[in-house]
Amino acid sequence: MKYISILVICVLTLYASSSSYNKGEMLYFSKACNGCHGVNAEGGGATPRLANRTKKYLIQRLKYFKKGRVSTIKQEMMVQFIINLSNEDIENITTFLSEHKKLQTRDVSEDLFGGYGS
């Protein structure tokens, strides 16, 4: 019985994560994030890569933008896209981005931090 309970918990955890990932993917494209950050969230030029960043970092940045904490005009543009996101939306989109497929180095142009795929 103990093993069945553990199995059920594991399956539910995987399903919940997958569901959050799928919802996040839908949000990413419906909010047109891909227009600047790319279809694979790879970024480019002055637009940062979002794929495979830590969830904690992504949540922090989105919450700062939601509160209007910005230091550049480019960041100010983000406020209009994030202002109406709920906490659940932020959770879902950051799940999608943090668990996004790993990018190959050759697929990523140099980012703002000076490295490929950093």
pLDDT of residue 110: 47
Class of domain 2-107: mainly alpha
Of the two residues 1 and 7, the one the predictor is more confident about is 1
- Residue 105 main-chain phi, psi, to 5 deg: -55, -40
Closest CA to 66 of 88, 93, 90, 43: 90
72: tokens are 């550049």
pTM beyond cutoff 0.75: no
Domain extent listing, the chain: 2-107
116: pLDDT strictly greater than 50:
no
Whether residue 50 has pLDDT greater than 50: yes
